[in-house]
């Protein structure tokens, strides 16, 4: 084909564009049906013309981006012609003069609806990062009706992350936090393992570049030894499988960098100590009717060669995960004493494992496939929750996101019907899952014929019979008992309805008092009462009256002057004075912002991740116009920024005075006489470090402990860690990442004093 390129695109760029277009068609060769090539060409030409004068930050023609997204959609997700057309056109309606009517006229209503969904999903987060709540309900409803919207959006996000090098650091961090907040959990739930894994790696590369580079180097250095071990390990397995007559593929696959980093943090070990950095995968080429039995045959052969760990067998063939994942996982002991994970699955299961829900499109061609899979049940639940007018959209997003990563358990109704619930689900979750009315009246359940309360956490295989009472009413406490988004949404809707009823009762009662006193029931007369008793609004006052907390006799403290209700003078109470003092307390800690409009601003060092001088940090301006400083790997900061869209600023430590920052150390080793003396001598004697507390426990000849100390910066902390590691009998020493202030209520005043000190300065760049 030929292109009439506009002047802005060079001949060399034109050749690159045509090469990418031909590679796209080549990747679809097995899926193309009659007429598909013409439609794809038309979509490409429309996109090319619409984006003809646009370039990306890297300087390359913009059209290369939709081409790359279309190729991802075709080759890594396998959506077929409709998906590729939508990928090519996904930015046209938002960024160019092309309209939805133009797209519907050329390609039909289904394509136009997907493009509309893609345009809406692009504004979940606005330019400042704020969640656009009014769009989220429409977006999620679109997702639940046609999942291709989010599949294409995930491909779009993946390509954007792959090409972030030319973007400013603040934009990179914003994109990474959005990805962690919503897109990675969605990829997980939809079973898009390949895309989820790469998104996690790219987010780690952006948020913690030093960690990423370190792990990348260690993986590269250990490659030869790892490949030799894998080759020796799988050789006997291959030989036995070949003799069995089963047609299989056997290979070793390195786990992702992000996965290895999670294991290192969770297990508090070094890279070298992570034993399962790779997994052996055995793929069986079997027809559908024998694939499950063939997988068990492979397991039998493997367990004859290597001794399996009986506690590490995972059977997701009999009961697949909610995202459709099917496989057998086992961990076996190699002949040289190393534990090795083996994953066994059929070719069909492998496609589902890597492409999840999207794999259905591969098996059903271009026809949009609707199965009765658990994914469809999950999408149906999203629809039910969102179609409820009482659902608060932002609350839903928080609950929905939490449920995306949940592991599943399998429980049964009294008639033996299987229900898949997230791990940690309660009796109340189960009741709400069956029907909201059953949940509303639930007072407990017979679990395996034993009476259990509504808060009881269900276990795999439980049989549950819900017990109800018409007198039961939902309370705020119920929200602590449930984990599913559906149950939380229903309970919140019930509580809102009950609150409206109570507010109405309180309002009517107060209105009667006003009428008796011949006082107008107006905001001007309500506000003095609201302010006098410290309520946040008139509704809070009505609610307090309705539940009986506020006595109507208190109105006698007020008198009418003219047409206004005013309070009689009274002396301030101790509580009033304490509140006033608290409101006046303002820290004089300043932070210099270097830029065009340099000025000093208040800042806080976040209590959730405990940054200290030397840590890689960033900040954001919160609703109080203060800069909150977090470490770049802080998960709480990711959620806050994604939800509220606070402006991000780059930060760095400019100078470090001798100020003490509270941090924690986890230590373990051989339990020996004098071990406490050796540890405290290093801390207090050698390094003259102040220690807040030390707690040691012993078990089976080992000791485990937590030490809380005040250090100046990361260099100071690392010096201490190295000294402790050098002690005889010490096996492991590491920094604690958790919120120490929350973990130990003692010493929080000292911590607060050190966190907002005038002696520590951070340099920020907007």
Q: What is the DSSP string of 610-644?
A: ---TTS-EEEEE-TTSPEEEEETT-HHHHHHHHHH
How many CB atoms are closer than 10 A to CB 515? 11
In which residue ranges of the chain is pLDDT below 70?
1-7, 120-145, 322-323, 356-407, 554, 556-603, 614, 633, 638-660, 700-701, 737-766
- Give yes or no: 94 in active site: yes
Q: Are 74 and 31 in contact (CB under 8 A)?
A: yes
Considering 49, 60, 95, 146, which one is annotated as catalytic?
A: 95
Q: Are 116 and 93 in contact (CB under 8 A)?
A: yes
- Give yes or no: 126 in active site: no
CA distance 56 to 631: 30
pTM of the predicted structure, to 2 decimals:
0.60
Query: Which pLDDT score, from 0 to 100, does residue 322 have?
Result: 67
Q: Classify residue 699 by its DSSP letter.
A: E
Domains defined along the chain, listed by start: 11-207 (1.10.3210.10), 217-364 (3.30.460.10), 661-765 (3.30.70.260)
Query: Which pLDDT score, from 0 to 100, does residue 724 have?
Result: 92
Query: Tokens 């057998």 label which residue?
Result: 328
How far apart, in Å, do the first and last CA atoms of the chain sit? Answer: 47
pLDDT-above-90 percentage for the chain: 18
CA distance 82 to 65: 18
CA distance 538 to 531: 9
Query: Which pLDDT score, from 0 to 100, does residue 590 have?
Result: 29
Give the residue among 263, 265, 88, 256 at the shortest CA–CA distance from 159: 88
Q: Are 423 and 406 in contact (CB under 8 A)?
A: yes
Q: Are 553 and 562 in contact (CB under 8 A)?
A: no
Query: Which pLDDT score, from 0 to 100, does residue 306 have?
Result: 93
């Amino acid at each position: 084909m030929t292109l009439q390129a506009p002047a802005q695109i060079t001949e060399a760029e034109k050749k690159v564009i045509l090469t990418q277009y031909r590679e796209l068609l080549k990747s679809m060769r097995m899926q193309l049906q009659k007429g598909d090539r013409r439609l794809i060409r038309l979509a490409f030409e429309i996109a090319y013309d619409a984006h003809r004068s646009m370039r990306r930050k890297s300087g390359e023609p913009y059209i290369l981006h939709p081409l790359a997204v279309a190729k991802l959609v075709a080759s890594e997700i396998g959506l077929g012609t409709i998906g590729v057309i939508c990928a090519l056109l996904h930015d046209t309606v938002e960024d160019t003069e092309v309209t939805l009517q133009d797209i519907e006229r050329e390609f039909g209503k289904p394509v136009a609806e997907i493009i509309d969904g893609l345009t809406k999903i692009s504004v979940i987060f606005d330019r400042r990062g704020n969640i656009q709540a009014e769009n989220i309900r429409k977006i999620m409803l679109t997702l639940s009706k046609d999942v291709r919207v989010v599949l294409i959006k995930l491909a779009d996000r993946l390509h954007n992350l792959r090409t972030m090098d030319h973007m400013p650091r603040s934009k990179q961090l914003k994109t990474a936090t959005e990805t962690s907040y919503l897109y990675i959990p969605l990829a997980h739930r939809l079973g898009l393992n390949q895309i989820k894994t790469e998104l996690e790696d790219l987010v780690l590369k952006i948020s913690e570049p030093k960690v990423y580079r370190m792990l990348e180097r260690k993986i590269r250095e250990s490659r030869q030894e790892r490949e030799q071990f894998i080759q020796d390990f799988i050789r006997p397995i291959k030989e036995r499988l070949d003799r069995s007559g089963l047609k299989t593929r056997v290979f070793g696959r390195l786990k992702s960098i992000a996965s290895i980093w999670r294991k290192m943090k969770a297990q508090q070990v070094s890279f070298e100590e992570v034993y399962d950095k790779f997994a052996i995968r055995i793929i069986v080429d079997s027809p559908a009717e024998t694939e499950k039995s063939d997988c068990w045959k492979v397991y039998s052969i493997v367990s004859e060669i290597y001794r399996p760990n009986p506690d590490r067998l995972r059977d997701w063939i009999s009961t697949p995960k909610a995202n459709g994942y099917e496989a057998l996982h086992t961990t076996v002991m190699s002949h040289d004493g190393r534990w090795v994970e083996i994953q066994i699955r059929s070719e069909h299961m492998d496609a589902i494992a890597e492409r999840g829900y999207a794999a259905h499109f591969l098996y059903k061609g271009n026809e949009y496939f609707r199965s009765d899979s658990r994914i469809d049940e999950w999408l149906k639940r999203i629809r039910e929750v969102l179609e409820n007018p009482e659902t608060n959209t932002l609350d839903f997003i928080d609950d929905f996101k939490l449920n995306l990563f949940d592991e599943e358990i399998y429980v049964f109704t009294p008639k033996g019907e299987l229900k898949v619930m997230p791990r940690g689900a309660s009796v109340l979750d189960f009741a709400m899952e069956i029907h909201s009315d059953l949940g509303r009246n639930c007072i407990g359940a017979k679990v395996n014929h034993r009476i259990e309360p509504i808060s009881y956490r269900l276990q795999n295989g439980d049989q549950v019979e819900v017990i109800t009472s018409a007198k039961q009413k939902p309370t705020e406490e119920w929200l602590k008992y449930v984990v599913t988004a559906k149950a939380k949404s229903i309970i919140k809707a019930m509580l809102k309805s009950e609150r409206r009823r109570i507010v109405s009762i309180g309002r009517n009662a107060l209105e009667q008092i006003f009428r008796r006193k011949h006082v107008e029931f107006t905001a001007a007369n309500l506000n003095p009462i609201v302010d006098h008793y410290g309520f946040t609004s008139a509704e809070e006052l009505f609610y307090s009256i309705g539940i009986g907390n506020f006595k109507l006799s208190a109105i006698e403290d007020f008198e009418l002057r003219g047409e206004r209700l005013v309070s009689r003078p009274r002396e301030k109470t101790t509580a009033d004075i304490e509140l006033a003092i608290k409101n006046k307390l303002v820290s004089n800690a300043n932070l210099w912002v270097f830029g065009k409009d340099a000025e000093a601003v208040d800042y806080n060092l976040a209590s959730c991740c405990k940054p200290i001088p030397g840590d890689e940090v960033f900040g954001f301006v919160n609703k109080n116009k203060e800069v909150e400083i977090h470490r770049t790997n802080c998960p709480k900061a990711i959620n806050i920024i994604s939800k509220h869209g606070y402006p991000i600023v780059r930060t760095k430590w400019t100078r470090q005075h001798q100020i003490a920052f509270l941090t924690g150390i986890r230590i373990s080793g051989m339990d020996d006489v004098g071990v406490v003396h050796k540890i405290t001598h290093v801390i207090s004697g050698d390094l003259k470090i102040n220690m807040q507390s030390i707690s040691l426990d012993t078990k089976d000849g080992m000791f485990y402990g937590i030490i809380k100390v005040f250090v100046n910066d990361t260099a100071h902390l690392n010096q201490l860690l190295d000294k402790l590691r050098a002690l005889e009998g010490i096996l492991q020493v590491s920094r604690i990442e958790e919120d120490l202030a929350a973990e130990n209520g003692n010493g929080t005043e000292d911590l607060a004093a050190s966190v907002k000190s005038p002696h520590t300065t951070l340099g920020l760049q907007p």
